[in-house]
Amino acid sequence: MSGSLPGWVGRLAAAALLFTVLGTAYLYVAAPLIVAYRTADEEIERARELLIRYEAIAATRQAHQRQLDELTSRQVGSGVYLARETDALASAELQGRVRSAISAQGGSLRSIQTLPVKSDGEFMRVSVRVQFTAPMAAFHRILYALESEKPFVFVGNLDVRNRRAKRRSGLEDLDPLLMIRFDLSGYLRPEMS
């Protein structure tokens, strides 16, 4: 019995070799496939959930479109924007509004100048620079007339100076004649798509 091993040792070595081969095959082939299938199943489930959400959102599209159309029609008819389609016509509308407000309150228009149109986000701001003289009480009524009507306008860069500081008698004038300059701006209605 010089080199022979008992039979059970050979069988044990063969079984160990078989388990090693099977374990290696599982570790390098089967386990990655199982993980890949589980990952793919999870991604498919997430995609199904997203699809359900997107279908729910798509189902509400018509209702949201009706709401948008209603809001757009209300905005068009609200009168808060300058009614003219071009900036030149809107500027002329502003100039006419200023002229009528100043003359109705007894002021005297000295100059009116169209300013460049500026983009303010999706809105286009149309502005005119106005210079006129008026008594203080009339100035108050002019500003009120401009701000209380539609379309909405905004006064900026206001500069008010007293034209006559004192009367000859040395008393301050109760309703002084003022030199007024300001920028009056309005907005064109944004394009709706």
CA distances from 17 to 44, 56, 74 (A): 39, 57, 83
Q: Does the structure show a pLDDT above 50 at 114?
A: yes
Q: Which stretches of the chain are assigned E, i.e. beta strand? A: 108-114, 118-120, 123-135, 154-162, 177-188
Q: Is residue 68 part of a domain?
A: no
Q: Using alpha carbons, select from 156, 159, 161, 160 the residue that is nearest to residue 184.
A: 156
> Per the structure, how many domains does the chain have?
2
pLDDT at 1: 46
Q: Is residue 31 part of a domain?
A: yes
Residues 38, 44: Cα–Cα separation, whole Å: 10
Q: Does the structure show a pLDDT above 90 at 45?
A: yes
Q: Is residue 118 part of a domain?
A: yes
Q: CA 95, 99, 104: angle at the middle one, nearest 5?
A: 150
Domain enclosing residue 7, as ranges? 1-59
pLDDT at 50: 93
Characterize the bridge pairing of strands 118-120 and 123-135.
antiparallel
Q: Is residue 78 part of a domain?
A: no
Q: Does the structure show a pLDDT above 70 at 172?
A: no
Residues 183, 129: Cα–Cα separation, whole Å: 4
Residues 98 and 155 in one domain: yes
Q: Does the structure show a pLDDT above 90 at 43?
A: yes
Report the CATH number at residue 107. 3.30.70.60
Residues 102 and 171 in one domain: yes
Residues 13 and 94 in one domain: no
Q: Is residue 18 part of a domain?
A: yes
The structure's pTM equals 0.55
Residues 30, 28: Cα–Cα separation, whole Å: 6
Residues 51 and 138 in one domain: no
Q: Is residue 120 part of a domain?
A: yes
Residues 52 and 127 in one domain: no
Residues 159 and 105 in one domain: yes
Neighbours of 94 (CB within 10 A): 25
